[in-house]
A and B are shown apart, each in its own frame.
Chain A
Amino acid sequence: MEPLAPETIYDPTPDLLRPGKLLRDIAHDFVAGRELAWRLFLRQLRGMYRQTILGMFWVFLPPIANTAIWVFLRSRNVFDFGDADAVGVAAVHTTAYILTGMILWQSFVDALQMPLDAVNSNRGMVSRLNFPREALILQGIGDLFFNLLIRLLLLIPTWWFFKVPLHGSMLFAFPLILLMVLYAVGVGLILVPIGSLYHDVSRFLAIAFPFWMILTPIIYVLPNTYPSNLLNWLNPASPLLVGARDFLLFGNTEHGWALLFFGLAAIPIFLVGLIVFRVSIPALIERMNN
């Protein structure tokens, strides 16, 4: 006898009342959406730079431009870089220090904005077709790592030029970068429902990011005395970014506990983000035609 085709039931019961099934469905759609994510990734990659002269250079440009601005301002003593000697920052050149931080910050910002951008730029698809929406997140993560990889390549000549010493332990930076991206994507996913309904969120983020960057020790040295260091550790962007930069530049970090805490928090935040994203989609589609 021919096996019966699988049944699908749609009813008003919230998915979270069947958490086991919900998690299985998310996992299934991640697997089922791989191929679509790959196609969308290729579409994005081939389409994005096809009508440009500078092509991939546009990936490098934002951190280079930002770094150039801040290095210039630093050279004019417009802001206080902090006590470089006290934390061993003097071992590397300011430009390498700021550029490394700026690349990580750019990735953090991109990761935080990615889920909302993914939904908003694919509204037609999301509201008209039933496909594994997790593919959009997978594609977004693929874009993030691709851009990060390209930007990290920029560090090779920079480090060589400014004679940044290489350490084997700098490889520890990569799991931290992964956790930083997951953490930021998770927060971005949690923001999707409100951000998709109210455009205030994206407008607010556009204004908040420059201030947030100033509050994050990218263009200055992390203060190591209380209470001036408190603001940095209350800043959720700070620990993983600072930790990854420390490993990349110095091969070690002084902030192990904070890293452990935020690193362990990244995975549950990402999972919570995925669940919020998944269960909120039908309610958001309902309002996408408004």
Chain B
Amino acid sequence: MSFKSPDTILEVDHVWKKYCRNLRRAMWYGLRDVAKQVFPQRPANAPPQSLLRPGEFFAVRDASFSMKAGECVGLVGANGAGKSTLLKMVNGLLRPDAGQIRIRGRIGALIELGTGFNPQLSGRENVYINGAVLGLKKHEIDAAYERIVDFSELSEVMESPLKTYSSGMRMRLGFSVAAHLRPQLLILDEVLAVGDVAFRMKCFQHFNDLTEQGTSIVLVTHAVGMLPRVATRIVVCTKGQIEFDGDVQAGLTVYEKALVEQASKQSSQHGESPWKKAFVENAEVLNASGSAGEEFQTGDELRLRVSVNCETAVPGARLIVALRSPVTETIASISTSYHSFQFDLRPGESQFVLVLRDLPLLLGAYFFDVSLYGPELIDFCHRRTGVGGFRIVGPPIDVNGNGICGLLRIEHRWEQGS
């Protein structure tokens, strides 16, 4: 079987991988799997689902995608979505239980920066060790040494023992060595939280240069805000499956929606106030015309209808609504008391509507936490988190920041200073 296209560099073809979380079972299965490798039999042509043993589940399920030379693909997903397992299979660390992975050319992987570092040795000695661990030959490290040191901005401390470096300096050194690999396919797993903003910008520029030279990059990160700067495509993993493969902006909203769904599972918390049986029953997102909706444009009007229920009256109650993003946590907190909106809760159900006009939010997924209090903030009654999930689906943002970019649209103008 050959590659589907001549410029394809990676092909993941209906790959499955099972996993066991129970330690004792996993050890026993491990021993049996080793025995199967030492005394091998040709794999049966059985459906992958029949491979599962008691206590196992599929961490990756029927995953397929491919990459061409020079592409930079962001692989994102919530914790436990299977992206790291998929990456380990692409890197040859784990063997697929079903399916096939084909790679053309040399692979480089930055999965943990500074692997092989010895704190007793100098920065210089560690550059050579780390380079060798990553597959560079001595003459390649010799040739790249000055560039590595320049890139890390650590030239003054290269002769000092690594144990005198801060963790940020170690990360920068590890990154700088690894960034000078010249593979056809580069795998980056959660390594971009390195250094300050200027250093990160330098890393992005470096990756852009690499892709322009034909290197393909798979980038796994939870810091998805920077993906539009480097990724040309996005693959979203959800519960071991590939849910989306395509445009970066559209993929990010799919990813954030999955995060919102995950967050809304942690939903309810009761307080110790005298009004224990007063609680937030539900919160629902409505559009300007009052009908339920999940998709909005920046600038639209959004209404949050909050239903509250109580058994005994709560005088001087107050509501606090937190607007949240799964990426950046709380964006804004809005309280009824800010506008002196006073109300007494009577037994039974009551409804309140929070109206947000001219939404300043940009592309992404968002949700609310709604808290109910008595007359004072110490009178916490109940909080329902992860409710009223919605998405902003347009208009497109400008990733280079030449206009609106990030989380919020801020009305602004420029003036010539004197």
Contacts and interface: CB of A to CB of B under 8 A. Distances in A.
Main SS at interface, chain A: helix
A188 B91 CA distance: 27
A129 B111 CA distance: 7
B288 to A, nearest CB: 49
A10 B134 contact: no
Given A125-B116, A128-B111, A197-B31, A280 B104 contact: no
A35 B132 contact: yes
Contacts of B111: 128-129
A129 B109 contact: yes
B42 interface: yes
Contact of B37 (A14, A36, A131): A14
A286 B60 CA distance: 13
Interface stretch (A43-51, A83-91, A150-158): A43-51
A290 to B, nearest CB: 5
A14 B40 contact: yes
Contacts of B346: none
A159 B339 CA distance: 96
A36 B40 CA distance: 31
Given A35-B138, A130-B91, A43 B118 contact: yes
A125 B93 CA distance: 11
A251 to B, nearest CB: 42
Interface stretch (B120-128, B260-268, B305-313): B120-128
A129 B133 contact: yes
B165 interface: no
B104 A51 contact: no
A11 interface: yes
Main SS at interface, chain B: mixed
B120 A285 contact: no
Interface residues of A, number: 47
B125 A8 contact: no
Nearest to B23: A290
B95 interface: yes
A125 B30 contact: no
A11 B40 contact: no
A7 B95 contact: no
Contacts of A7: 102-104
A53 interface: no
Given A10-B95, A40-B129, A284 B34 contact: yes
A214 interface: no
A193 to B, nearest CB: 4
Contacts of A290: 23, 26-27
A203 B134 CA distance: 33
Nearest to B130: A39
Contact of B133 (A36, A193, A285): A36
A12 interface: yes
Contact of B132 (A39, A51, A282): A39
Interface in A230-263: none
Given A43-B121, A280-B37, A13 B107 contact: no
B163 to A, nearest CB: 10
A193 B31 contact: yes
A214 to B, nearest CB: 31
Q: Which of B98, B107, B120 has the most CB of A within 10 A?
A: B120
Given A279-B37, A286-B19, A130 B101 contact: no
Contacts of B92: 8, 10, 130
Interface in A189-232: 193-194, 197-198
Contact of A279 (B38, B41, B103): B38
13 contacts: A12-B97, A16-B40, A39-B133, A43-B125, A46-B125, A47-B118, A128-B115, A129-B134, A193-B34, A276-B34, A284-B30, A285-B93, A286-B19
Task: In the A-B complex, list the 10 residue pairs whose CB atoms are closest, starting with the nearest.
Answer: A14-B40, A5-B105, A283-B33, A39-B132, A279-B37, A193-B34, A280-B34, A10-B101, A47-B120, A282-B95
Given A39-B132, A197-B31, A290-B23, 7 more contacts: A7-B104, A16-B37, A40-B116, A40-B132, A124-B112, A282-B37, A286-B26
